Amino acid sequence: MKKKTRVNIYDVAEEAGFSISTVSRALNDDARISAKTKVKVKAAARRLGFQKNAIATSLSTNQSKVIGVLVSELNRGFLSSLVHTLEDTAFAMGYSVIICQTNNSHEREKTYMDTLIASRIAGIIATLSLETDSYEHFEKAKEQGIKVVLVDRVSPKIKSTTKIVIDDYQTAFEGTQHIIGQGYDKIAYVSGPTKQLLYADRLRGFEQALKVAGLPLNPEWIEYSDDLSYEEGTRIAKKILSRKDKPNAIFTANNLAAISTIAYARQIGIRVPEDLGVIGFSEEPFSAFMQPSVTSIRQPSTEMGKLAVQKLVEEINADPGESYIHQKIILDTELIPRESTNRLCKR
C-alpha cells in the first residue's frame, strides 16, 4: 500500500534477531529485558542508523513532549527574555517548545489554540494577547486534557489554572511613591488597555499612591495606548507635554514608552530629570545604557519562565486520580532607581 520510509523497529528486530516488542523494550530500557539483549539490540539499531519516530510514539502513547508557548511578540525585551528561559528550562526537562506569536490578536490566539490542540501537545504556557477578552479557547484546551499555565498577563475569568504574576497594583503603588519621594508632585500616567487586568491594576496602584500622598489626580494626565510602542509613547508624550498645565513627572506602563517620552522631552528642551521625572514598567536591556539612564521596574522574567515550565510539567505528571491544586504565584519585583527620576542628588 504505502511505502515505508525510514528504518523502523521491524528492521532493527530482524537485524538483531529479536521480536519488535523486545526491541521496543530494549530501546526504552525496560527492566524486563536482559542486559545482553539490550546491548545487541542497541548495536543493531546503531548499525542501521535507526532513529525512533516520535510521531508514532506519540500516537501510541497519546502523549507528547511538546509545550506550546502563546506569546504576543518575540521582539520585545521582557517577552524574549521570558521565552528564552522557557525554552531553556523546557529543554532541561526533556520538552520541546512550539512558539506561537499572537501579535496581540484574539483571532490568531484562537487559531493557534486549535492547532495546538490538534497537535496533541502536553501543555500550554500563555501570556494573554492584549485584545483577548473571552476565554472559551482556553476552556476548550483544558477540556481536551491540555494543561495550561498563565504568565504575566492573566485573567481571573480563567479558572483552575496555575498563574504566575507580579503584584501589579503594589508595584505601581511603590513606583509612584518613589517618584513622589523624589519631589515630583504633578504626575502623569501612560496606561495600556485596562481591559487587561495588569494594566488596570497598575493604574489603580498609581491612583491609590497619589490619593495616599494627597496629590491631585488630574484626568488630563492619564492617557491610554493600545500597544505602548515607541511611536505611541512619543505621541502621548507630545500630547501630555503640550497641555497648559504640564506634569513634572510621567509614569509609563512599559519601558518603551518611557524611553520615547525621555527622547521627546529632551528634543523639545525639557530636562530629564530636572524638569521632568520619568519612570517605566519593565526593565529593558537598554534601560541602564540610556542617557539619562532610565528608572524602571524589573519583572523577574527568568524566575517566571522557570516556574512556568516547572509548574506545567508538575501538573502534566500529576496523578490523574488526585485533584491538582492550582496556585497563583506572585513574584517580587524590583524598582531600579536611575538618573531619570533622580531629582534630589546632583549627578
Partner DNA sequence: TTGTAGGCGTTATCAT
Partner DNA sequence: ATGATAACGCCTACAA
Residues that bind DNA (CB under 7 A): 1-6, 8-10, 17-22, 24-25, 27-28, 31-34, 36-37, 50-53, 56-57, 59-62
Tell me which of DNA, a second copy, none is bound by residue 346, counting a contact when its beta carbon lies within the kind-specific cut-off of 5 to 8 angstroms. Answer: none
* Closest distance to DNA from the beta carbon of 94 (Å): 14
Residue with cell 505611541: 232
User: Is residue 25 within 8 Å of residue 33, measured between CB atoms?
Assistant: yes
Tell me which of DNA, a second copy, none is bound by residue 9, counting a contact when its beta carbon lies within the kind-specific cut-off of 5 to 8 angstroms. Answer: DNA
Closest listed residue to residue 55, CA positions, set 121, 124, 145: 121
Tell me which of a second copy, DNA, none is bound by residue 34, counting a contact when its beta carbon lies within the kind-specific cut-off of 5 to 8 angstroms. Answer: DNA
Q: Residue 53 or 170: which CB sits closer to DNA?
A: 53
Query: Does a cis peptide bond (omega within 30 degrees of 0) precede residue 273?
Result: yes
Q: Residue 65 or 246: which CB sits closer to DNA?
A: 65
Tell me which of a second copy, DNA, none is bound by residue 91, counting a contact when its beta carbon lies within the kind-specific cut-off of 5 to 8 angstroms. Answer: a second copy
For residues 108 and 104, what is the distance between their CA atoms, to the nearest angstrom? Answer: 8
* Closest distance to DNA from the beta carbon of 123 (Å): 19
Tell me which of DNA, a second copy, none is bound by residue 267, counting a contact when its beta carbon lies within the kind-specific cut-off of 5 to 8 angstroms. Answer: none
Q: Residue 56 or 92: which CB sits closer to DNA?
A: 56
Which residues form the interface with a second copy (CB under 8 A)? 2, 5-6, 51-56, 58-60, 62, 64, 66, 73-75, 80-81, 83-84, 87-88, 91, 96-101, 103, 108, 112, 114-115, 117-120, 144-145, 259, 263, 284-286, 289-292
Task: Measure the CA dihedral 66/69/70/73, to 10°.
Answer: -140
| Paired strand residues for 279 | 251, 295
For residues 304 and 310, what is the distance between their CA atoms, to the nearest angstrom? Answer: 10
Tell me which of DNA, a second copy, none is bound by residue 218, counting a contact when its beta carbon lies within the kind-specific cut-off of 5 to 8 angstroms. Answer: none
Q: Residue 2 or 347: which CB sits closer to DNA?
A: 2
What is the DSSP secondary structure assignment for residue 323, as one 8-state letter? P
Tell me which of DNA, a second copy, none is bound by residue 145, counting a contact when its beta carbon lies within the kind-specific cut-off of 5 to 8 angstroms. Answer: a second copy
For residues 126 and 140, what is the distance between their CA atoms, to the nearest angstrom? Answer: 14
Q: In what order do the strands lie in the sheet with 249-252?
A: 222-224, 187-191, 249-252, 277-281, 295-298, 334-336
* Closest distance to a second copy from the beta carbon of 256 (Å): 9
Q: Residue 21 or 327: which CB sits closer to a second copy?
A: 21
User: Is residue 253 within 8 Å of residue 196, measured between CB atoms?
Assistant: no
User: Is residue 110 within 8 Å of residue 79, measured between CB atoms?
Assistant: no
CA angle 313, 318, 322 (to 5 degrees): 155
